[in-house]
Amino acid sequence: MTSSVRKAISGAFAVFCTASVLLALVPLGFILFFVVRQGVQSINLAFFTHLPLPVGEAGGGMANAIVGTLLVSGLAAAMAVPIGVLSGIYMAEYAGSRFAASVRFAADTLNGVPSIVIGLFAYVVAVLPFKQFSAAAGGFALGVMMIPIIARTTEELLLLVPPTMREGALALGATRARAVFTVVVPAALPGIVTGVVLALARIAGETAPLLFTAFNNRFFSTSLRQPISTLTVQVFTYATGPYEDWHRQAWAGALVLVAMVLTCSLLARLATRRLERMHAR
């Protein structure tokens, strides 16, 4: 092959790679554009303050679903943060041990389990025995999804803490537990909090695990034992329903979800940049 042909191939390859980035950003742009355009047209104060109206009547809002999403995600976090953080500490502290490797493998496996399968599991464990769909079951399902995310983030961030800090604490006579909880974990804490926020944003956007755990509820409820409405399930119901006004509200719900995810991602990115700068210093 002559060198000019080889150069041409090389150039074409660079063009292909650049084009693929643009090709991936086109759907991103399209989705954000449509969600914002349709969402802004559809959203109003009633969306945040009113309950859904009976089938066929236009108007109403998703106040109950917004509260439901907050409640269910809060339950999930209450369950997943302690388990996730402590098992993350275990994986980081005993990184070389065989059991830590099994925990890591289990966490990655759990992370890859399809969310609908987590929903089935939560149904059998938390709905069947009580013969009742419930907010608690929904929180359990999302909590199971959240544990591996938090565990792996915590582990990674703890491994970034300079070993000299731990060694210093141990040299001063601190026990391992004391060194971990008073020196190593506080050093990684801002990062861990960021990780938790990102995990929350991710699970608050989940639908499949809630379909037959939290189910849905047309009325306002904060009871853990009753079915509860969530933004995502409500958007699903409205999007697949036949009414124009339901579609409008589905777009408004999508806008709220996307705004939440974007805000969390941006905040997390800003926080990590600040952390990186602190580490660089």
Partner 1 sequence: MRRSSSRSELAFRLGIGAFGFLIVAIVCTIGVVLAVQSMASIRKFGLNFWLTRTWDPVAGQFGALPFIWGTLYSSLIALLIATPIALGIAVFISELCPPSLRQPFVFLTELLAAIPSIVYGLWGIFVLVPAVRTVERALPAAVRATPLFSGPPLGLGLLSAALVLAVMVVPFISSVSREVLKSVPAAQREAAYALGATRFEAIRAALFYARTGIVGAVMLGFGRALGETMAVTMVIGNNPRISLSLFAPQYTMAAVIANEFTEAADELYLSALVEIGLVLFIITLLVNSLSRLLIWSMNRTGRVITAPEPVHASA
Query: Per CB under 8 A, which of residues 183..202 are in contact with partner 1?
Result: 201-202
- Residue 52 phi, psi dihedral angles, 5° rounding: -60, 145
Using CB under 8 A as the binding rule, whether residue 118 contacts partner 1 is answered as yes
Q: Which residues contact 193 (CB under 8 A, 6 or more apart)?
A: none
Compute the distance between CA of residue 130 and CA of residue 132 in angstroms, rounded to an integer.
Answer: 5
Q: Which is nearer to partner 1, 69 or 221 (CB)?
A: 69
Using CB under 8 A as the binding rule, whether residue 132 contacts partner 1 is answered as no
Using CB under 8 A as the binding rule, whether residue 219 contacts partner 1 is answered as no
Using CB under 8 A as the binding rule, whether residue 35 contacts partner 1 is answered as yes
Compute the distance between CA of residue 134 and CA of residue 219 in angstroms, rounded to an integer.
Answer: 14
Cβ(190)–Cβ(123) below 8 Å: no
Q: Which two tokens stand for residue 190?
A: 């801002």
Using CB under 8 A as the binding rule, whether residue 121 contacts partner 1 is answered as yes
- Binding-site size, partner 1 (CB under 8 A): 93
Q: Which is nearer to partner 1, 18 or 222 (CB)?
A: 18
Reduce the secondary structure of 64-81 to three states and give it as a string: HHHHHHHHHHHHHHHHHH
Compute the distance between CA of residue 65 and CA of residue 228 in angstroms, rounded to an integer.
Answer: 8
Compute the distance between CA of residue 116 and CA of residue 265 in angstroms, rounded to an integer.
Answer: 24
Choose the binding region for partner 1 from 42-50, 55-63, 67-75, 113-121 (rule: CB under 8 A).
113-121
Compute the distance between CA of residue 100 and CA of residue 146 in angstroms, rounded to an integer.
Answer: 19
Q: How far is CA 171 from CA 93, 215, 271, in A?
A: 17, 54, 32
Site string for partner 1, 64-103 (x = CB under 8 A): ------------------xx--xx-xxx-xx----xx-xx
Choose the binding region for partner 1 from 44-52, 56-64, 68-76, 142-150 (rule: CB under 8 A).
142-150
Beta bridge partners of 52: 60
Site string for partner 1, 6-25 (x = CB under 8 A): xx-xx--xx-xxxxxx-xxx
Choose the binding region for partner 1 from 40-48, 57-65, 69-77, 260-268 (rule: CB under 8 A).
260-268
Closest approach, Cβ 110 to partner 1, in A, equals: 5
Beta bridge partners of 60: 52
Query: Per CB under 8 A, which of residues 49..68 are in contact with partner 1?
Result: none
Choose the binding region for partner 1 from 44-52, 54-62, 68-76, 115-123 (rule: CB under 8 A).
115-123
Q: Which of 240, 220, 199, 258 is nearest to 135 (CA)?
A: 220
Of positions 60, 123, 218, 224, contacts partner 1 by CB under 8 A: 123
Q: Which of 69, 84, 89, 80 is nearest to 214 (CA)?
A: 69
Q: Which is nearer to partner 1, 31 or 55 (CB)?
A: 31
Of positions 55, 59, 108, 243, contacts partner 1 by CB under 8 A: 108
Using CB under 8 A as the binding rule, whether residue 274 contacts partner 1 is answered as no
Of positions 160, 171, 172, 189, contacts partner 1 by CB under 8 A: 160
